[in-house]
Amino acid sequence: MYFFMPPLFGPDFNQREVVSLLLFIFMASINVVIVAVLDLAIERIMAQVQNVRALIESAPNGLLVVDRQGIIRLINPAAEKLFGYAHGELVGRPVDDLVPHQRLEAHRAGRIAYHQNPEVRTFRDLSGRHKDGRQLPVDVGLNPVSSNGEAVVLATVIDISDRTKAQEVQKLIIRELHHRTQNLFAVFLAIATRTVDENKTNAEIKFVLNGRIQALAHAYALIAESAWEGASLAAILERELAGFTTHLNVAGCDIVVSPSATQQFALIVHELATNALKYGALSIPDGHVANDGKIERLDGGGTFSFVWKETGGPRVTTPTRKGFGSVILLDSAKQFCQSVTLDYPPHGLRYELQVQLSAIEASMPSPTSSPESSPTS
Please state, in angstroms and rounded to a whole number, the distance separating the CA atoms of residues 101 and 267.
56
Q: What is the reported pLDDT for 347? A: 92
Q: Does 219 share its domain with 315?
A: yes
Please state, in angstroms and rounded to a whole number, the distance separating the CA atoms of residues 126 and 159.
10
Q: Does 224 share its domain with 296?
A: yes
Give residues with Cβ within 8 angstroms of 178, minimum separation 6.
Answer: none
Q: Does 70 share its domain with 210?
A: no
Please state, in angstroms and rounded to a whole number, the distance separating the CA atoms of residues 331 and 268.
11
Task: Dump pLDDT digits (tens) for 126-151.
Answer: 999 999 999 999 999 999 988 777 88
Q: What is the reported pLDDT for 166? A: 83
Instruction: Flag whether pLDDT at 11 surpasses 60.
Output: no
CB 366 within 8 A of CB 226: yes
CATH code for the domain of 244: 3.30.565.10
Does residue 289 form part of some domain? yes
Does residue 190 form part of some domain? no
Q: Which pTM does this prediction carry?
A: 0.51
Q: Does 33 share its domain with 65?
A: no
Q: Does 241 share its domain with 302?
A: yes
Average pLDDT value for residue range 349-375: 69
Instruction: Flag whether pLDDT at 265 surpasses 70.
Output: yes
Q: Does 211 share its domain with 322?
A: yes
Instruction: Flag whether pLDDT at 6 surpasses 70.
Output: no
Q: What is the reported pLDDT for 55? A: 67
Please state, in angstroms and rounded to a whole number, the distance separating the CA atoms of residues 333 and 336.
6
Q: Does 64 share its domain with 142?
A: yes
Task: Dump pLDDT digits (tens) for 105-124.
Answer: 999 999 989 988 899 999 98
First to last CA, the chain: 115
Q: What is the reported pLDDT for 289? A: 95
- For the four alpha carbons of 248, 251, 256 and 259, in that order, the dihedral sign comes to negative
Q: What is the reported pLDDT for 352? A: 96
How many domains, in total, are found in the chain? 3
CB 262 within 8 A of CB 236: yes
Please state, in angstroms and rounded to a whole number, the distance separating the CA atoms of residues 359 and 306.
14
SS3 1: coil
Q: Does 209 share its domain with 333?
A: yes
Task: Dump pLDDT digits (tens) for 158-177.
Answer: 999 888 888 887 787 677 66
Q: Identify the residue with better confidence: 351 or 217.
A: 351
Q: What is the reported pLDDT for 319? A: 87
Does residue 173 form part of some domain? no
Q: What is the reported pLDDT for 67? A: 92
Q: Does 333 share its domain with 287?
A: yes
Average pLDDT value for residue range 250-270: 89
Q: Does 225 share its domain with 345?
A: yes
Residue 112's CB is within 10 A of a number of other CB atoms, namely 11
Does residue 255 form part of some domain? yes
- For the four alpha carbons of 64, 67, 72 and 73, in that order, the dihedral sign comes to negative
Q: Does 238 share its domain with 339?
A: yes
Please state, in angstroms and rounded to a whole number, the distance separating the CA atoms of residues 298 and 302.
5
Instruction: Flag whether pLDDT at 75 surpasses 60.
Output: yes
Please state, in angstroms and rounded to a whole number, the distance separating the CA atoms of residues 146 and 215.
71
Instruction: Flag whether pLDDT at 94 surpasses 90.
Output: yes
Does residue 264 form part of some domain? yes
Q: What is the reported pLDDT for 371? A: 39
- Of 85, 73, 81, the C-alpha closest to 131 is 85
Q: Which domain holds residue 275?
A: 200-360
Q: List alpha helices for 257-348, DSSP H.
A: 259-278, 324-326, 333-334
Q: What is the reported pLDDT for 370? A: 42
Does residue 185 form part of some domain? no
Give residues with Cβ within 8 angstroms of 59, minimum separation 6.
Answer: 76, 78
Instruction: Flag whether pLDDT at 40 surpasses 80.
Output: yes
Q: How confident is the model at residue 250 (pLDDT cuts 50, 70, 90)?
A: very high
Q: Does 274 share its domain with 142?
A: no
Q: What is the reported pLDDT for 203? A: 80
Does residue 377 form part of some domain? no
Q: What is the reported pLDDT for 85? A: 94
If residue 18 lies in a helix (H) or strand (E), which one and from where to where?
Answer: helix 15-58
CATH code for the domain of 128: 3.30.450.20
Does residue 165 form part of some domain? no
Give residues with Cβ within 8 angstroms of 367, minimum separation 6.
Answer: 225, 226
Q: What is the reported pLDDT for 86? A: 93
Q: Identify the residue with better confidence: 191 or 362.
A: 362
Q: What is the largest CA-CA distance in the chain?
A: 149
β pairing state of 288-298 and 248-251: parallel
